[in-house]
Structure 1
Amino acid sequence: MFARLTPVVKYLLLINIALLLIPSVLNLELSGIFGLHYIFAENFKPFQFITYMFFHGGFGHLLGNMFALFIFGPMLERFWGAKRFFIFYMITGVGAGMLYGVVNFVEMQQLESAAQDYIENPNYEAFNAFIRDNASYAYRQWYDFIDAYGENQGSREYINASVQRVKEVVRFQGNIPMIGASGAIFGILFAFGFLFPNTELFLLFPPIPIKAKYLVTFYAIYELYAGIQRTPGDNVAHWAHLGGMLIAFILLKIWQDNRRKFY
C-alpha cells in the first residue's frame, strides 16, 4: 500500500506525524508558538502563516488530514511533478492561513466592539447576552458567578468582576491558535476534483461511489454554510478550508495553459 507514495507526499506525512509525536513524548506545547494567532495578539509571529500547517490538535485531527493527503496527493504529484506539487501545497496552505487571518480579524474586531459596548454600559442582561453570543463555553464554568450577579445586579463588585471577565473572553479568543494542514488538504481535494472530475471515489460513510467533482462541490457548499452559520463550540476553521480551495482555483487557472486532462 505504501509503495504508491510519492516523495513529497511521503516527507509531508513523516514531518506531520513527527511534529505530533515528538512534542507529545517530550511533553512540549508548541502550538502556542507555531500555531497561527490573531494578527494583533501578543503571540502572533509572521512565520506562523507557514508553521501552523505542520501541527495538529491530536491524533484524530492528524489522521483525517494525512489520510486525505495519502489518498489524493500521490496522483497530483505524479501529474505535476514533485516541485510543482510542493509549491501548490505550500501556497494553498499559506493562502488559507491568510484568508483565515482576514476573517479572524473581522471577527475579533466585532468581539472587541461588543466588549467595549459592555464595558461602557455594564448590566446583567448585557453580560448574559455577551457570554451567550461570544463565549457560550464559559456558561458552565461561570455559572455560579452569573447566578450571583443576577442576584446582585447593582453591586459594584459584581459589575467590575463582569467587566474583567468580558476582557478575559477577548484575550482568550485572541490567543487561540489555528493549527492543521486542512487548508492545504482542501486545496489538494479541490485540485483533484478540478483535474480529474469524473474519477469515481468510493466513500466509506455512506459506502457509495461518487464522482470527484460532486464530492468537491459538496465539501465547498458545506464549508461555506458552516462558516456562515457558525454554531457554538465549533472550533473548525471553515474559512481556512475555503481559503485553500480558493487559492487552489486561482493557481489552477494560472497553470491552465499547461493543463492535461485525465479522467
Structure 2
Amino acid sequence: MFIRTESFSQYIRQYPVVTTLITINVVIFLLTLLPVIGDRVFVAGLGANYLIEQGEYWRLVTPMFLHAGFMHLLFNMFSLFIFGPELEKVSGKARFLTVYFLSGIFGCIATFFVYDSNFTHVGASGAIFGIFGAFGALVYYTKRMLPQLRQIILPIIGLGVVMTFIGPNINAAAHIAGLIVGFLIGLSFFHPKRIISWRKPKAVPKR
C-alpha cells in the first residue's frame, strides 16, 4: 500500500499536493544554506515562543517549512513522500491540505502553550503526525475492511509516539497535537456517511 512504484513523472502527476509540499520544503532548506540570506530566512521563520508572545504570529505557521539540518529534512520529507500520496488519493487535494496544515499549525500552537518563552523549534513533524492521525481515523472506520492498513499504520503510530518521548531534541507537543488533530479531522472526513456523499454521482443538467 505504501510502496511507491510510480516513475518520477507519474508521481508528480498523480500527487501534485505532496510533490509541491516536498518541493517547497527542499527549496527553503537550500535557501537556508546560502551565505547571509540563509540565516535571515531561518531566523525569520523560526518558531520562537518569545517572539510569538510579542505578536509575530506567522511563526505559528512558518516553522513547518524549516528544518534543522539535512537529516531532519530527509526524515520528514521521506515520511511525506511515502505516506502522503495515499492520503491525498483517498481524501482529495483540499482535504489533504486541511489535514496537513491544521495539524502543523496546531502543533505549533501546542508548542507555544506547553513550553516556556525560550523554546524554539522548526520542522514539519506536526503535519506529518497529522497524516498518521488521519490514517488512524480511517483505520477506526474501516477496521476489518482494510486489515493491511491497520497492520502498517498502528505500529507506525505506536513507534512514532514512543520515539517522541525517548529521542533527543524532539518537540513532543507538536507531535502529539498533530496526531490528535489529524485523527479528529479524519474522523470528520472519513465518516461513512460523508464518504458516501463524496461518491454520489453528480446530477447532469438538462438541456
TM-score (norm 1): 0.60
The residue aligned with 2:143 is none
> Which ranges of structure 2 fall in alignment gaps of 5 or more residues?
1-6, 140-145, 197-207
Residue 36 (structure 1) shift: 1.0
1:74 paired with 2:85, answer yes
**C-alpha contact (below 8 Å) 1:183/1:240 kept by paired residues:** yes
**C-alpha contact (below 8 Å) 2:132/2:157 kept by paired residues:** yes
1:192 paired with 2:192, answer no
Q: Select 1:49's aligned residue among 51, 60, 72.
A: 60
Residue 100 (structure 1) shift: 1.2
Alignment of 1:197-236 (within 5 A): 198-199=147-148, 211-223=152-164, 225-226=165-166, 234-236=168-170
The residue aligned with 1:4 is 11
Q: Specify the code of the residue in structure 2 equivalent to 1:241.
A: H
Q: Runs of 4+ in structure 1 displaced over 4 angstroms?
A: 39-44
Structure possessing the higher radius of gyration over alpha carbons:
1
Residue 43 (structure 1) shift: 7.0
After superposition, what is the alpha-carbon deviation per residue over 1:218-248, rounded to whole angstroms, capped at 9, x for unaligned?
323443x44xxxx8xx321122111100111
Distance 1:59 1:221 in 2: 23
Residue 24 (structure 1) shift: 0.8
1:250 paired with 2:184, answer yes
**C-alpha contact (below 8 Å) 1:32/1:43 kept by paired residues:** no
Distance 1:215 1:80 in 2: 20
Distance 1:46 1:200 in 2: 37
Alignment of 1:53-132 (within 5 A): 53-105=64-116, 108=117
Aligned length: 177
Q: Specify the code of the residue in structure 2 equivalent to 1:235.
A: N
1:15 paired with 2:24, answer yes
> Which ranges of structure 1 fall in alignment gaps of 5 or more residues?
109-173, 202-209
Larger RCO of the pair (alpha carbons < 8 Å, separation 6+): 1
Distance 2:153 2:97 in 1: 22
**Over the residues paired in the alignment, what is the CA RMSD in angstroms?**
2.5
